[in-house]
Amino acid sequence: MAEARKKCLTGIRGLDTILNGGIPVGNTVLISGSAGTGKTTLSIEFLVHGAIMGEKGLYISVTEDSGKLVENLITYDFFSRENIQKDIIFIDIPEIYEKLGLNKLQFNIEDINLLIENIIKIVKEFNIKRVVIDSITSICYRLETEEKIMEFILRLGKALQEFGATTLMISELLPFAKGYSQYGVEEAIADGIILMGNYERRGDLLRTLRVIKMRGTAHSRATYVLELTSIGIMLVPLLKNGGE
């Protein structure tokens, strides 16, 4: 029998079943969707479940101040236990940029190397097994060219995989965008893509989730309704014949 890849349990209700046991360890997964679709909540819940299972998490905040983010997260029951928060490291990327002297709008290859080295250093120092970059879109903005975006995502993803860390990269989409990422390169090189969206039904705007691709495992490609509850995300099948 073929050997299955080791899986990283997301702990999110429904998602591990959809993924046949979780995300293959070491994968770099794009979490794509427009604003408010639940990308940040999903990725934080992924880190929280890791912390409960004894795996340390790193959340790299690019667009939002992490102090403010934590304040908002406290309103969720799943996040309010202090003992799990200590196993998640929150870092604001502007602080890294400043430390490394990357106070410029466009990064060159040396800057990219410096940034990757620094992230890996943190991952090694704290024995991080789950990484979230929220969002990769904002980092790509400073990389500008497809070549540099590819270089950054591939090299960082490979280094994290060698360390046995599983990574979620958040991809910000405009509401009616085609594809799964702003530059197109991100989706081509990611090991997996999870698409989050909206679906209007009988005057309600439902949140949806669908796994588009996941290297290393079979998975469902059905659309699920995503509910954001105080205890976390719940996924239930979208009943297409549920009455339009």
Ligand X SMILES: Nc1ncnc2c1ncn2[C@@H]1O[C@H](COP(=O)(O)OP(=O)(O)O)[C@@H](O)[C@H]1O
Q: CB of 135: closest distance to ligand X in angstroms?
A: 8
| Phi, psi (degrees; rounded to nearest 5) at 182 | -65, -40
Stretch of 38-46, 82-90, 108-116, 184-192 contacting ligand X, by CB under 6 A:
38-46
Contact between 197 and ligand X per CB under 6 A: no
CB 53 within 8 A of CB 46: no
Nearer to ligand X, 91 or 150 (CB): 91
Contact between 38 and ligand X per CB under 6 A: yes
Contact between 171 and ligand X per CB under 6 A: no
User: In this structure, how many other beta carbons lie within 10 angstroms of the beta carbon of residue 75?
Assistant: 9
User: In this structure, how many other beta carbons lie within 10 angstroms of the beta carbon of residue 6?
Assistant: 13
Nearer to ligand X, 141 or 163 (CB): 141
Among 35, 100, 109, 236, binds ligand X (CB under 6 A): 35
Contact between 41 and ligand X per CB under 6 A: yes
Give the per-residue contact string, 40-79, with Mg ion (x = CB under 5 A; - = no): x---------------------------------------
Nearer to ligand X, 132 or 149 (CB): 132
Helices 136-143, 146-162: axis angle to 10 degrees equals: 130
H or E element that contains 123: helix 109-125
The answer for residues whose C-beta is within 8 angstroms of residue 10's C-beta and 6 or more apart is 16, 19, 22, 23, 45, 46, 49
Residue (of 197, 199, 201) closest to 244 by Cα position: 201
| Binding stretches for Mg ion (CB under 5 A) | 40
| Binding stretches for ligand X (CB under 6 A) | 33, 35-41, 75-76, 228, 230
